[in-house]
Amino acid sequence: NAGVMQNPRHLVRRRGQEARLRCSPMKGHSHVYWYRQLPEEGLKFMVYLQKENIIDESGMPKERFSAEFPKEGPSILRIQQVVRGDSAAYFCASSPFAGGSTGANVLTFGAGSRLTVL
């Protein structure tokens, strides 16, 4: 089991470009979470998805950010028209269960995608 795979590991974009971050959950996991981490800070929840459904996007900025988890293929976090403030590490986590308290001990994080906006 390869674990949660995120790519690219590092991505450099210029202001105004688009960033696409991909996350392949662990085999058998149908719940995906995206978190953002600024340097020297904790992880901030962005969005929770199940296959073909966005369950909770309360942490996602209203503009420029979108996420999907299609029936086939990885989950995608898309950031349009990136700005310097988008520079951060973006972590994906997957779980076989819904929510935190039933699944945190099997919630597995990927190694993250580090976005740098020039």
Partner 1 sequence: GESVGLHLPTLSVQEGDNSIINCAYSNSASDYFIWYKQESGKGPQFIIDIRSNMDKRQGQRVTVLLNKTVKHLSLQIAATQPGDSAVYFCAETFGNEKLTFGTGTRLTIIP
Least distance from partner 1 to the Cβ atom of residue 101, Å: 4
Q: Please give the residue ranges that form the binding site for partner 1 (CB under 8 A).
A: 4, 33, 35, 40-45, 48, 56, 59, 91, 93, 98-102, 104-105, 107-112
CA dihedral 29, 74, 32, 61 (to 10 degrees): 180
Strand 108-109 versus strand 88-95 pairing type: antiparallel
Query: Bridge-partner residues for 115, per DSSP?
Result: 11, 88
Least distance from partner 1 to the Cβ atom of residue 15, Å: 25
Q: Which is nearer to partner 1, 8 or 16 (CB)?
A: 8
